Structure 1
Amino acid sequence: MDSFDQTLLDDPTRLAAIDTSQVLASIVALPEQCLDAAAQIQNLNFPDPYRSVKRVLIAGMGGSNLGGRIIEAVFADELTLPMVRLHDYHLPAWADAQTLIICSSYSGTTEETLSVAAEAIQRQLLWTAIGTGADLIALAQAQAVPYYQIQPTHNPSDQPRLALGYSLIGQLLILAKLGLINLPASAIDHLVAAMKLVVSQNQLSVPLNSNPAKQLAVSLYGRLPVLISSGHLIGTTHSLKNQFNENAKTFAACFDLPELNHHLMEGLVHPSTNPQNLAFISFLSSLYSERISRRFSLTQEVITQNHLPVYPYAVPGDTELTQAFTGLQFGSFVIFYLGMLYQQDPAPIPWVDYFKAKLA
């Protein structure tokens, strides 16, 4: 493993020289994003036909559709109609007049999402839009459909993947306004307070020797992170996997219990370099069922018996929604610090930009 200088994580001047686009500032501001989004979307209203939908489809790519996974995981026991995520150009054949299509594109220029919006218009379906502006919001305005235009005051990096407070709260409140989920204002205040506590414990000013996020980043250096979660945290770990890719420029994988117990444990043996290359992170929750908690204990035992490191993280919070957000807050810090150890500016995505330029 390459050597690295972990003292970098306690040096604001050196970190600022690497983080040229204020990614850390966006991470710290995630709680404020949530409050800001709730205030911005307050006056958004929907015509009556939107309240009679029988299914929901959230269309978006990358960071703009991470919220859908979190909603799906957290509200699985509350949503009484199907909710599907779409990461593609075309609507499925089953999308009909009783389907609500939420088109989410932070930039407003994502070609796959614009294609879905165009098909929704062509098929005369109910749709709404979330984004900062550009083509998607212009299309919604031209078609006189409801939309939430994000004003990203608390996302100084201007990266979609770091605006989850806006997109996720926006999507949640759209569903709440339509009566599909219960989300009182007090729930948002509650999760924001819990997130701010995570910020206070893991922000840059907290030194490495007492900063859990910095310590985990040091442990992950030079290894491929494998995230494990269950139930209401599955969407959170998937979102963090994307952030590992884009912000730390490293490969990552995520698996969920109980599914992984039926295959992954047999995949730990080869290649023989696995113990040097992999690191597992278990997202534990006091809200898991007794059976799932037992599975986590046994899964961690199997991992360690295969000589692989596993780092458990007890996600704070007393509700499933709160834990989804605090897990996201903590993981975002870990990934940022890991990127700093690699001395990697987290904001630029040169290979994604290269691909888009070639595809154009």
Structure 2
Amino acid sequence: MAEDYSLPQEVEKYDPDNMRQDILQMPSQVSQGYQLGDKVDLAGLEDTHFSDVIIIGMGGSSIAGLILKDYLQTDPLKLVINQDYSLPVWAGQGTLVIACSYSGNTEETLSAFKEARRRGCGLVIVTVGGKLEEQAKVTRLPIVKIPSGHQPRSSMPVQFFVILRILERLRLVSDKGAEVGRVAADLKAQAPGIEKNAISLSEKVAGRTPLVYTSSKFSSVGYRWKCQFNENAKTPGFCHTFSELNHNEMDGFENLNASFHAVFLRFEDDFRRVQQRMDLTRDILLKRGVAVTDIGIRGPTRLSKMFAAVLLGDLTTYFLALRLRTNPSKVDLIEEFKRKLGPFVV
């Protein structure tokens, strides 16, 4: 069957906010975020020895941290991503806390931020504004103001490279400048092909529930895909990792059917035994009537591969939203939930 690269008519009707343009700005977001992280005044922190780092955030802000943690697997940094109202019990004066909230009003982040101040943690703020900026200004904390006017999840690349540069400047990780310098060029060169593949994959997944599988080394990338299926395409989506899923989730395959579509994100540096597990699991799914799409993720560097995979996921879920005649930018159910929950007093 020929690949389907067609799109719904009247694309503008379903994407009045032009999310496609936001997604395709990812190459420029690399240098933008890195430069913002380079400019922030870290006086008072540069001479402090931090034994560990906590990134507090929710949604797209936390995903920036999760992807960063996967990327920094070869660095001996104790890095924790905190998606909660409170901090781990061990956080204290030797802990650097980077509080990330696009709006600056995320209640879990505000709560954990307040606790970090009380415990004497080092603090850096990454936000557009809101209450987080207001509180940070009162205590004269370092603030990185990121560009406004986007969906929070679209700012993830900016936040990622802001945080990476801050960690470099505080000598908590080795210098990644050379690798970062390649990412923007790599993404720009790959973008046309990635977009074409995303259009095709969105047609294959349409009408089915996606299952996104990766190795544990790249679990954050699979999680990004899952969340983008949820927020962009307004569809259920699930993710898991090898080889953990071979110890639990695969038993559920007994009751799978053609209403699911499995997407295997295969990185060329996945452990050889994991690659074998992927092959065998793929065959099991196919025999049970589940469609499977294998996607080989390649690139000159680990960072380039990770963000190429993110770009493919962002575009796939964007085009799926158009096929489903839904606005990829809006998150009406999330906003309605927040209204019903009511204000949170920090």
Using the size of structure 2 for normalisation, the TM-score is 0.93
Q: CA deviation at 1:109?
A: 0.9
- The 5 Å alignment of 1:170-185 reads 170-185=162-177
Q: Tell me whether 1:294 sits opposite 2:276 in the alignment.
A: yes
Q: CA deviation at 1:10?
A: 6.6
Q: Tell me whether 1:252 sits opposite 2:259 in the alignment.
A: no
| Residues 165-220 of structure 1: CA deviation (Å, up to 9, x unaligned) | 211111211211122222433212211122112312244xxxxxxx2111110000
Secondary structure of the 2:212 match is strand
CA distance in 2, matches of 1:107, 1:143: 19
Secondary structure of the 1:85 match is strand
Secondary structure of the 2:289 match is coil
Secondary structure of the 1:163 match is helix
CA distance in 2, matches of 1:192, 1:141: 32
CA distance in 2, matches of 1:111, 1:137: 13
Contact 1:58/1:84 (CA < 8 Å) preserved in 2? Answer: yes
Q: Percent identity?
A: 27
Match of 1:206 in 2: none
Match of 1:32 in 2: 28
| Residues 230-271 of structure 1: CA deviation (Å, up to 9, x unaligned) | 14421111112111100000000101111111112211111x
Contact 1:8/1:15 (CA < 8 Å) preserved in 2? Answer: no
Contact 1:50/1:100 (CA < 8 Å) preserved in 2? Answer: no
Q: CA deviation at 1:51?
A: 4.1
Contact 1:127/1:145 (CA < 8 Å) preserved in 2? Answer: yes
Match of 1:208 in 2: none
Count of paired positions: 338
2:120 to 116, 120, 124: 124
The one-letter code of the counterpart of 1:239 is R
Structure 1 unaligned blocks of 5 or more: 1-5, 204-210
Structure 2 unaligned blocks of 5 or more: none
Contact 1:233/1:323 (CA < 8 Å) preserved in 2? Answer: no
The one-letter code of the counterpart of 2:140 is A
- More deviation, 102-111/40-49: 40-49
Q: CA deviation at 1:163?
A: 0.9
The one-letter code of the counterpart of 1:88 is D
CA distance in 1, matches of 2:50, 2:231: 35
Secondary structure of the 1:344 match is coil
Match of 2:38 in 1: 42
CA distance in 2, matches of 1:49, 1:23: 38
The one-letter code of the counterpart of 2:201 is L
Secondary structure of the 1:179 match is coil
CA distance in 2, matches of 1:40, 1:121: 23
CA distance in 1, matches of 2:121, 2:31: 31
1:9 to 7, 10, 24: 7
Contact 2:37/2:163 (CA < 8 Å) preserved in 1? Answer: no
Q: CA deviation at 1:136?
A: 1.0
Q: CA deviation at 1:49?
A: 6.2
Instruction: Give RMSD over aligned pairs.
Output: 1.7
CA distance in 1, matches of 2:50, 2:56: 16
| Residues 113-144 of structure 1: CA deviation (Å, up to 9, x unaligned) | 11111111222221111111121122222212
The one-letter code of the counterpart of 2:197 is P
Give the 3 Å change call, closer, same or farther, for CA 10–248 of structure 1 in structure 2: closer
Contact 1:315/1:323 (CA < 8 Å) preserved in 2? Answer: yes
- More deviation, 18-27/42-51: 42-51
Q: Tell me whether 1:310 sits opposite 2:266 in the alignment.
A: no
Contact 1:258/1:295 (CA < 8 Å) preserved in 2? Answer: yes
Secondary structure of the 1:52 match is coil
Q: Tell me whether 1:91 sits opposite 2:87 in the alignment.
A: yes
- The 5 Å alignment of 1:1-360 reads 9=7, 11=9, 14-46=10-42, 47-48=44-45, 51-78=48-75, 80-152=76-148, 158-203=150-195, 211-270=196-255, 274-360=256-342
CA distance in 2, matches of 1:56, 1:43: 20
- More deviation, 88-97/184-193: 184-193
CA distance in 1, matches of 2:191, 2:303: 17
Using the size of structure 1 for normalisation, the TM-score is 0.89
Contact 1:265/1:302 (CA < 8 Å) preserved in 2? Answer: no
Secondary structure of the 1:176 match is helix
CA distance in 2, matches of 1:129, 1:101: 9
Secondary structure of the 1:93 match is coil
Contact 1:8/1:341 (CA < 8 Å) preserved in 2? Answer: no
